[in-house]
Amino acid sequence: MALLDKFAAAGAIRDQLSSGGHDPTRVVIDEIISPTEGMVEGRHTILAGTNNYLGLTFDPACIAAGIKALETQGTGTTGSRMANGSFASHAALEQELAGFYNVPYGMVFSTGYAANLGTLVALLKPGDAVLLDADAHASLYDGCQMSGADIFRFRHNDVDSLEKRLQRLGERARDCLVVTEGLYSVLGDCAPLNEIVELKKRYGALLLVDEAHSLGVYGDRGCGVAEAQGVMHDVDFFVGTFSKSLGAMGGFCVSSHAELALIRYVSRPFIFTASPSPSIIASTHEALRQLQARPELRDSLWRNARRLHQGLETMGFDIGPEVSPVVAVRLGRKEVALPFWNRLLENGVYTNLMAPPASPDQNSYIRCSVSAAHTEQQVEKILEMFGRTRETA
């Protein structure tokens, strides 16, 4: 087999996705009008698949903070944190994030993907055991695989399955790491962290929770699902991203374990990646302040989430029973979902197509992510377009 022959399979996927008119992986938003609106191929389009949960991408204070950092610190660090790329603003954000989660230690990474890779490859080594939710994000899988640890998957959100894996580990359970997410980004369901914590305590394991999609969304202060379920103090490591509710780019890990301060010495994704640009750090820092100072953003987000979920359910669409800012419509086969997604886009609604192998099962979904910035009229328009698209299917 020639080196490049393997790309024939990728070409077949591209051709299949393009057969319906638009390739969902190659949509270009030509103009961004607001957190919830853009221009796509000359059409005014409602953005209903951006993960911009709090709508802070156009927040004036966040923009002003980014501009000030550009003017005073330049466009980039031009180096890694271990070389020349660690600025006072990076350390300040790490301290702020740790305080937000009420733990003493924090680390900032250049992306959310790097945060998961960098944390897991440092925590785990060959011979260690890690128990991973079967529907966990690719970055969590990749981090576990790169570490060389023994990976044991348990059924998605199934505490009985998790306990069976822990029992089979025997004495190894005391030193294992359990990895889960807070809010799962495809189906919009939450992990039963209170039950997982109970098992963690019983077997002596450590727990890492990825709150990427739940930061700013769940909990009285917006810390995530662990806060909402009252188990924040029982989580050993929190990881997350700046690219959802905080409207920027980057990632983090916070922990009560002093060993987190040593991860920067052994984590290759941290050591060998250029640090985030000052403007990104500044806008993220301001967005974290906005998240804490404006709980009304979460109120708006949840009002829109409940309306979209209720509307789609009333119209008879197959959606999950759990109301969340992620709403996934199950359409079964890709041959049904792809033209449905295309018609929505042509009708001015941008969503996400989730199909195997990206979906957690063999079904295909149209995924919406709601924003606090969506107006009531926009949510109603999304519902109208779902109904009209189904009628013309």
CATH of residue 29's domain is 3.90.1150.10
Structure confidence by residue, pLDDT tens digits, 137-176? 999 999 999 999 999 999 999 999 999 999 999 999 999 9
The answer to whether residues 190 and 126 belong to one domain is yes
Residue with tokens 């399955």: 161
User: Residues 248, 215: contact at Cβ < 8 Å?
Assistant: no
Count of CB atoms situated within 10 Å of the CB of 353 = 27
**6: in domain:** no
* Listed residue (336, 335, 320) closest to 368, CA to CA: 320
| 319 vs 367: CA distance, rounded Å | 10
Q: Which of these three, 263, 293, 323, is where a domain ends?
A: 293
| Boundary (domain end) residue, out of 269, 293, 317 | 293
Q: Are residues 324 and 375 in the same domain?
A: yes
Domain around 102: 60-293
Between CA 185 and CA 21 the distance in angstroms is 26
Domain boundary among 236, 262, 293: 293
Query: Any catalytic annotation for residue 309?
Result: no
User: Does residue 268 sit in the same domain as residue 320?
Assistant: no
Q: Is residue 248 part of a domain?
A: yes
Could you give the percent of the chain with pLDDT greater than 70?
99
Q: For residues 314 and 336, state if they share a domain.
A: yes
The reported pTM is 0.96
User: Do 373 and 36 contact (CB within 8 A), yes or no?
Assistant: yes
Note whether residue 3 is domain-resident. Answer: no
- Per 3-state DSSP, the chain is made up of helix, strand and coil in percentages (nearest 5) of 45, 20, 35
pLDDT (0 to 100) of residue 1: 64
Q: Are residues 119 and 108 in the same domain?
A: yes
How many domains does the chain fold into? 2
For the chain, give the percent of residues with pLDDT over 90.
Answer: 91
- Angle (CA) 257 128 195, round 5°: 65
Residue from 137, 156, 200, 244 carrying the catalytic annotation: 244
Q: Are residues 149 and 285 in the same domain?
A: yes
Say how far apart CA 312 and CA 329 lie, in whole Å.
Answer: 8
Residue pair 144/132 in contact (Cβ under 8 Å)? The answer is: yes
**Inside any domain, residue 270:** yes
According to DSSP, residue 277 is labeled P
> Among positive and negative, which fits the CA dihedral 168, 169, 173, 176?
negative
Query: For tokens 């000359």, what's the residue?
Result: 42
Per annotation, catalytic residue among 213, 309, 334, 374: 213
54 within some domain:
no
- 341 and 378 within one domain: yes
Question: pLDDT for 225-268, tens place per residue?
Answer: 999 999 999 999 999 999 999 999 999 999 999 999 999 999 99
Do the beta carbons of residue 109 and residue 251 sit within 8 Å? yes
Q: Which pLDDT band, with edges at 50, 70 and 90, does 190 fall under?
A: very high
Statement to judge: residues 86 and 233 lie in one domain:
yes
Residue 9 lies in a domain: no
| Helix residue ranges, H only, the chain | 7-18, 60-73, 88-100, 112-123, 138-147, 159-169, 193-203, 225-228, 260-263, 268-271, 278-293, 296-314, 334-346, 376-391
Does any domain span residue 300?
A: yes
- Please confirm, yes or no, whether 244 is among the known catalytic residues: yes
Q: Answer yes or no: is pLDDT of 320 > 70.
A: yes
Region for residue 224 given its phi and psi (left: phi exceeds 0; alpha: psi -120 to 50; beta: otherwise): left
User: Are 84 and 230 part of one and the same domain?
Assistant: yes
Can you read off the two tokens belonging to residue 343?
A: 């018609």
d(CA 94, CA 104): 10
Q: Looking at residue 393, what is its pLDDT?
A: 62
Tell me, yes or no, whether 231 and 261 share the same domain.
yes
Bridge partners of residue 326, in order along the sequence: 369
Q: Are 250 and 284 in contact (CB under 8 A)?
A: yes
Whether 65 is covered by a domain: the verdict is yes
Q: Looking at residue 16, what is its pLDDT?
A: 86
Residue 290 banded pLDDT, cuts 50, 70, 90: very high
Pair 26, 128 in one domain: no
SS3 379: helix
What CATH code is carried by the domain that includes residue 121? 3.40.640.10
Residue 214 is encoded by which pair of tokens? 């739940």
> What pLDDT was estimated at residue 321?
83
Is 201 labeled as catalytic in the residue annotation? no
pLDDT band for position 118 (cuts 50, 70, 90): very high
Going by the DSSP 8-state scheme, the letter that residue 177 receives in this structure is E
pLDDT band at 392 (very low <50, low <70, confident <90, very high): confident
Query: To the nearest whole number, what is the mean pLDDT of the chain?
Result: 96
Residue 150, phi then psi, degrees to nearest 5: -80, 120
3-state class of 8 per DSSP? Answer: helix
Same domain, 200 and 300: no
